Amino acid sequence: MPDHAEPASSPGLLLTGPALTGLALARGDVDRAGHRRVDESWLEAAWADPATRVVAVERGQALVEVSDQDAGLAFSAPAQAPDGVRFLLGTDSGGRAYFGVAGPLPAQAGPRIRPALLREAGPLLSDRDAGLLTHAVALANWHETFTHCPRCGSPTEPIASGHARKCPADGSEHFPRVDPAMIVLVTDPADRALLARNALWPQRRVSILAGFVEAGESAEQAVAREVAEETGITVSAVTYLGSQPWPMPQSLMLGFRALAGDTDIRVDAHEIAEAHWFSRAELAAATAAGTVRLPPPVSIAHRIIESWYGSELPGSW
């Protein structure tokens, strides 16, 4: 990292590091077809087409067909789809339409088909299916929780093929909520990584520091504030790495690295129970001994730690 970078406590320069690629929930190869969301005749024809595929989401779960090596979404045809809020997910290169429905899961049609959460199935799915399920879960979670107008309290109605809701009483339109959150790997001058255990987590489980971006705050400011609040460490050279949606229920994780100005850890004892510096050799030894458990591959935290570690992370999740 360049030694002239401005400190994150007064950010004016954001550095860009090696981009993270292949994030489990930041994939997809279906065109979202935003222009079709208000085309009622096209939507009606697409729903009537038996080639159209539908994924139902209930309480964050969808039906997945699991094989020995991977998994795929278990789609329904429109005629077999459950009742519920319907949303267009997009179209593929062949013109096939994909919809999501926030409603009861269909009956399981085979022994390898079972309900699965996005965080469980995401890493096993293809780019197409991972993108479709992430999109569907995000919208389904929003429709399940945002049912009334925040202005007047009237029930809202889905519009734009499920990508917005409208209040019939005052005409206001409302869009899916996305909460930006930063997540950062802090390293010291010896290139050791700072890993911490949240006070609510079981023993041995650790990750990198994270927190929500507050109102009127930049992501870089949030990095500096959260690290200082949780560990007492000041940081500089904040470097953006990439982002991943985390719709459980509505976050967008913004990944960073930052350089510690000191190494004296002072945990807040409220959110963070403990935090320690790890060299690569120390992390390998701790995971081998089972004294440390790292976040799973579906998370951006796993990929950020892995990018520092330099190879596939050891241990189990």
Q: Does residue 10 sit within a domain?
A: no
pLDDT of residue 107: 85
Instruction: Tell me the C-alpha distance between 118 and 207, whole Å.
Output: 20
pLDDT of residue 61: 96
pLDDT tens, per residue, the chain with 317 residues: 333 333 333 444 456 667 888 899 999 999 999 999 999 999 999 999 999 999 999 999 999 998 877 889 999 999 999 999 999 999 999 999 999 999 999 887 778 999 999 999 999 999 999 999 999 999 999 999 999 999 999 999 999 999 999 999 999 999 999 999 999 999 999 999 999 999 999 999 999 999 999 999 999 999 999 999 999 999 999 999 999 999 998 999 999 999 999 999 999 888 999 999 999 999 999 999 999 999 999 999 999 999 999 999 998 77
Neighbours of 154 (CB within 10 A): 13
pLDDT of residue 150: 95
CATH number, domain with residue 41: 3.90.79.20
Q: Does residue 28 sit within a domain?
A: no
Q: Give the number of C-alpha atoms closer than 13 A to the C-alpha of residue 72, restricted to the C-beta side.
A: 6
Instruction: Tell me the C-alpha distance between 149 and 134, whole Å.
Output: 25
For residues 119 and 66, membership in a common domain is answered with: yes
Residue 114 token pair = 């079972």
For residues 259 and 243, membership in a common domain is answered with: yes
For residues 151 and 228, membership in a common domain is answered with: no
Q: Does residue 103 sit within a domain?
A: yes
CATH number, domain with residue 246: 3.90.79.10
For residues 217 and 278, membership in a common domain is answered with: yes
Closest CA to 121 of 249, 297, 261, 252: 297
What's the whole-model pTM score?
0.90
For residues 119 and 186, membership in a common domain is answered with: no
Q: Does residue 315 sit within a domain?
A: no
For residues 278 and 169, membership in a common domain is answered with: no
**In the listed set 119, 152, 174, which residue is the last one of a domain according to the structure?**
174
For residues 38 and 151, membership in a common domain is answered with: yes
Per the structure, how many domains does the chain have? 2
For residues 91 and 158, membership in a common domain is answered with: yes
Domain containing residue 106: 34-174
For residues 184 and 304, membership in a common domain is answered with: yes
**In the listed set 174, 195, 223, which residue is the last one of a domain according to the structure?**
174
CA 175 to chain centre: 18
Residue 253 token pair = 């994780």
pLDDT of residue 22: 85
CA distances for 195 relative to 48, 58, 248, angstroms: 52, 34, 23
Q: What angle do CA 100, 51, 77 make, to 5 degrees?
A: 50
DSSP 8-state code for residue 207:
B
pLDDT of residue 14: 56
Q: Does residue 137 sit within a domain?
A: yes
For residues 58 and 132, membership in a common domain is answered with: yes
Q: Does residue 5 sit within a domain?
A: no
Q: Does residue 6 sit within a domain?
A: no
**In the listed set 146, 174, 202, which residue is the last one of a domain according to the structure?**
174
Question: Is 154 in contact with 169 (CB distance < 8 Å)?
Answer: yes
For residues 138 and 194, membership in a common domain is answered with: no
Q: Does residue 148 sit within a domain?
A: yes
Instruction: Tell me the C-alpha distance between 193 and 295, whole Å.
Output: 14
For residues 199 and 168, membership in a common domain is answered with: no
